[in-house]
């Protein structure tokens, strides 16, 4: 039996549900995070730690193109993409297929979804999270509208529409317009901020923009609605993030707040699945806790911690 809010020794994470659970199978469920589902090209479903259940993903970057090249990215770009273009009509039909499977229960007949107890089921969110940056898709606004319509059609009032983004283009007029549709549909922005200095940013995210573009994007969005910040800390060539970097990171967060940005939560996490680069590794639970504690003392925003899952 899990105890919500208490550490689980097998999963090495906070227990999420007050139900009898098969911990190892849930751990395995988290690890199985393929952005593929049946014959779908763009829409998939995963068991997500941060969503605390089923997350339906929408991949607007099947070509695997991204404006970042994060050293911890899990997208395997050594394998050529099977599809390069997004067909919105097909995407809409695929959303229907996945949401129908969830509604009629057939989704839960096979791994990894069979690891979820009945109380854990339900679509927690429809998330724009694919093999690249969703806001670079020229018809991003149309895709958000399609997801909002599917959410309405399936009566998913409590389901969030989530944009998982590197934040570089959040201030772009077309993206800003799409975000208003997100807002009207229980929307949430999970914006990546992995660094406090330009040097560390370039090392871990290998971006095509400067850190200031990310900070400007986050502030622009956070002045309109509270934004969730996602930060991945890891070991690089065996070394954890330097203390000066962590201080610069918290200074950036404080600057966003001081400039009128609102932050809903900070999700601090580490690597949970094998990334493309072999010189990066997860932080230990204690290291992540120490970072989170230090951030809590400096930034008045709720901090959530997501531990690594042992690599297979
Ligand atoms: S922003 Fe996301 S998809 Fe792009 S390289 Fe980084 S982790 Fe991968």
The answer to whether the CB of 275 is under 6 A from ligand 1 is: no
Q: Which pLDDT tens digit goes with each residue over 186-202? A: 999 999 999 999 999 99
Q: CA 62 → CA 16, 40, 79, 99, 238, distances in Å?
A: 32, 11, 12, 20, 32
The answer to whether the CB of 245 is under 6 A from ligand 1 is: no
The answer to whether the CB of 164 is under 6 A from ligand 1 is: no
Q: 20 alpha carbon to ligand 1 midpoint, in Å? A: 35
Give the E-state strand segments of the chain in sequence order.
Answer: 7-8, 13-14, 43-48, 53-58, 123-128, 160-165, 187-192, 227-232, 235-236, 263-269, 280-281, 303-306
Of 229, 238, 223, the closest CA to residue 292 belongs to 229
Mean pLDDT of 277-301: 96
Mean pLDDT of 135-160: 98
The answer to whether the CB of 75 is under 6 A from ligand 1 is: yes
Contact, 29 vs 98, CB < 8 A?
no
Residue 9 pLDDT greater than 50, yes or no:
no
Residue for token digits 């919500």? 4
Contact, 54 vs 118, CB < 8 A?
no
Q: From the CA of 69, give the closest atom in ligand 1.
A: 5
Residue 14 pLDDT greater than 90, yes or no:
no
**Is the pTM for the entire model greater than 0.95?**
no
In this prediction, residue 51 has a pLDDT band, given cuts at 50, 70 and 90, of confident
- Quick one: CA dihedral 114, 274, 201, 167, positive or negative? negative
The answer to whether the CB of 241 is under 6 A from ligand 1 is: no
Residue 5 pLDDT greater than 50, yes or no:
no
CA-nearest residue for atom 5, ligand 1, is 69
Q: Which pLDDT tens digit goes with each residue over 188-245? A: 999 999 999 999 999 999 999 999 999 999 999 999 999 999 999 999 999 999 999 9
Contact, 217 vs 169, CB < 8 A?
yes
Distance CA 278, CA 177 (A): 39
Distance CA 276, CA 74 (A): 6
Q: 61 alpha carbon to ligand 1 midpoint, in Å? A: 11
The answer to whether the CB of 214 is under 6 A from ligand 1 is: no
Residue 183 pLDDT greater than 60, yes or no:
yes
Distance CA 135, CA 253 (A): 22
Q: Which pLDDT tens digit goes with each residue over 246-267? A: 999 999 999 999 999 999 999 9
Q: What pLDDT is attached to residue 10?
A: 34
The answer to whether the CB of 204 is under 6 A from ligand 1 is: no
In this prediction, residue 274 has a pLDDT band, given cuts at 50, 70 and 90, of confident
């Amino acid at each position: 039996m899990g105890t919500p809010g208490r550490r689980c020794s097998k999963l090495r994470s906070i227990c999420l549900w007050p139900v009898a659970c098969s911990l190892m199978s849930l751990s395995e469920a988290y690890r199985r995070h393929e952005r593929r589902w049946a014959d779908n090209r763009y829409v998939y479903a995963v068991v997500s730690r941060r969503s605390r259940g089923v997350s339906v993903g929408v991949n607007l970057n099947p070509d695997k193109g991204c404006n970042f090249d994060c050293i911890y990215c899990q997208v395997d770009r050594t394998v050529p993409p099977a599809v390069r273009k997004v067909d919105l009509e097909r995407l809409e039909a695929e959303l229907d297929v996945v949401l129908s499977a969830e509604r009629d229960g057939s989704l839960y007949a096979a791994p990894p979804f069979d690891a979820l107890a009945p109380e854990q089921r339900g679509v927690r969110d429809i998330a724009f999270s694919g093999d690249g940056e969703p806001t670079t898709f020229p018809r991003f606004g149309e895709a958000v509208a399609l997801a909002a319509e599917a959410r309405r059609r399936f009566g998913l009032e409590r389901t969030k529409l989530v944009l998982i983004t590197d934040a570089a283009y959040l201030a772009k007029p077309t993206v800003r317009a799409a975000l208003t549709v997100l807002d009207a549909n229980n929307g949430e922005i999970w914006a990546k901020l992995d660094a406090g200095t330009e040097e560390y940013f370039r090392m871990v995210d290998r971006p095509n923009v400067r850190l200031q573009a990310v900070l400007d994007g986050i502030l622009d969005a956070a002045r309109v609605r509270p934004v969730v910040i996602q930060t991945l800390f890891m070991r690089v060539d065996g070394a954890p993030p330097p203390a000066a970097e962590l201080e610069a990171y918290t200074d950036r967060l404080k600057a966003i707040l001081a400039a009128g940005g609102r932050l809903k939560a900070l999700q601090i996490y580490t690597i949970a699945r094998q990334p493309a680069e072999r010189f990066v590794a997860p932080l230990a639970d204690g290291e992540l806790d120490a970072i989170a504690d230090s951030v809590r003392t400096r930034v008045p925003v709720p901090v959530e911690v997501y531990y690594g899952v042992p690599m297979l």
